[in-house]
Amino acid sequence: MNTKNTNFYHKNGIAIMHLARDLITMQIGDRIPTITDYTEILGVGRGTIQNAISFLEETGSIHLEKQGQKGTFLQAIDHSALWPHTGWGTLLGAMPLPTGPVLTSIDGACIYALRQSGFPFASSYTVSNHNRLNLLNEGTLSFVVTSKMGMDASLERYPNIETAVELTDCTYSSPVMLLHRPEIDDCIKDGMRLGVSIRSSEQQYIANRLREYADFQVSEMTIMECNQALTAGEIDCIIGRPEAFETRFPFSDYYPKDCVWQPITFLGCDRTSTIPVIACNRNVYGMSKLVRSIMDRENMFKVQQDITTGRQKVDLF
């Protein structure tokens, strides 16, 4: 094998891929970075960048126009021709299980935005933000949907994950609360037995915050085991979102129907627990930028409102 030729094609291929990922999110008339910019960003020579640009033009993926000292501008782009050169294939995202109307509407808004982009995608619905973020961290997923609180609580565990879009006007779900047995008047007191899901960074974060106010006896289990333990009287309360129990899903059948939801507004987490966040792996060049171009804040808010009010039909698949 000719190592020199192999390195040549490898460097050119990487340059083509990175340029394609940058260009796929640009608009007609945008000024593209200079060759010098790209040599610094990608760590390759000017010739490699020039070859990559020529290749993308020759394949009909883009058309550029040089305007002297003003720079080089994008005059035309063929997204279907350019997309294969990004190396992304099919975008794969993981979203929360649509167990209630708000969760369904934010999932629906994401699907709508992806469909409008025209890029190939597939979606999955995964219980617990920990599972979603773990798959993203491993490189299995392109992006995940979680809450701002869930994201903030996971930064130390997953330093390679970053927030691509914070949908501040949209709503993720109902605020996180405590669900306790009916005979308990107030579960914020010493000695309370709290069930916490081992797969939820949100619940782990809330449990740690609650320990600042009372001496809880914390038992870590799966979500289903938490509900079953509450029914059996083995624990006094669990952490959850009321919306998740509004529809008939299997785990909602495993807790006493006369249990009481207790707000935990005093923790100051209600707002962050209801803001949706789209997260990406920072090691995947250009993915956060792509997701930001797809998940436009204003459009996402409008679509979620239209789904919530019935003006737009929800499509989750």
Tell me what pLDDT residue 253 has: 58
Tell me what pLDDT residue 255 has: 63
- Residues 81 and 7 reside in one and the same domain: yes
Which tens digits make up the pLDDT trace of 57-101? Answer: 999 999 999 998 899 999 999 999 999 999 999 999 999 989 889
315 lies in a domain?
Answer: no
Which residue range forms the structural domain that includes residue 262?
A: 177-271
Q: Quote the tokens at residue 246.
A: 């509004």
Tell me what pLDDT residue 313 has: 92
Cα–Cα distance measured from residue 56 to residue 17, given in angstroms and rounded to the nearest whole number? 10
Cβ neighbours for 2, distance < 8 A, ≥ 6 positions apart: none
pLDDT, the chain, mean: 90
Instruction: Identify the CATH number of the domain in which residue 62 sits.
Output: 1.10.10.10
Instruction: Identify the CATH number of the domain in which residue 215 sits.
Output: 3.40.190.10
Give yes or no for a contact between 141 and 94, defined as CB atoms under 8 angstroms apart: yes
- Residues 133 and 58 reside in one and the same domain: no
C-alpha distances (whole Å) from 229 to each of 27, 95, 222, 259 are 55, 27, 10, 13
Tell me what pLDDT residue 249 has: 56
- Residues 23 and 157 reside in one and the same domain: no
Instruction: Tell me the angle at which helices 46-58 and 3-23 cross, rounded to the nearest 10 degrees.
Output: 60
Of 290, 304, 251, the residue nearest 103 (C-alpha): 304
Q: Which helix (H) or strand (E) holds 40?
A: helix 35-42
Q: Which helix (H) or strand (E) holds 193?
A: strand 193-197
**Which residues are registered as beta bridge partners of 124?**
94
- Residues 235 and 214 reside in one and the same domain: yes
Task: Provide block-wise average pLDDT over 10 residues at a time, the chain (317 residues).
Answer: 43 91 95 92 90 94 92 95 96 92 95 96 90 93 96 90 96 95 92 93 94 95 89 93 72 69 95 97 96 95 96 88
- Residues 264 and 222 reside in one and the same domain: yes
Tell me what pLDDT residue 7 has: 40
284 lies in a domain?
Answer: yes
| Number of domains observed in the structure of the chain | 3
Give the 3-state secondary structure of residue 34.
Answer: coil
- Residues 239 and 285 reside in one and the same domain: no
Listed residues 38, 61, 86: the one ending a domain: 86
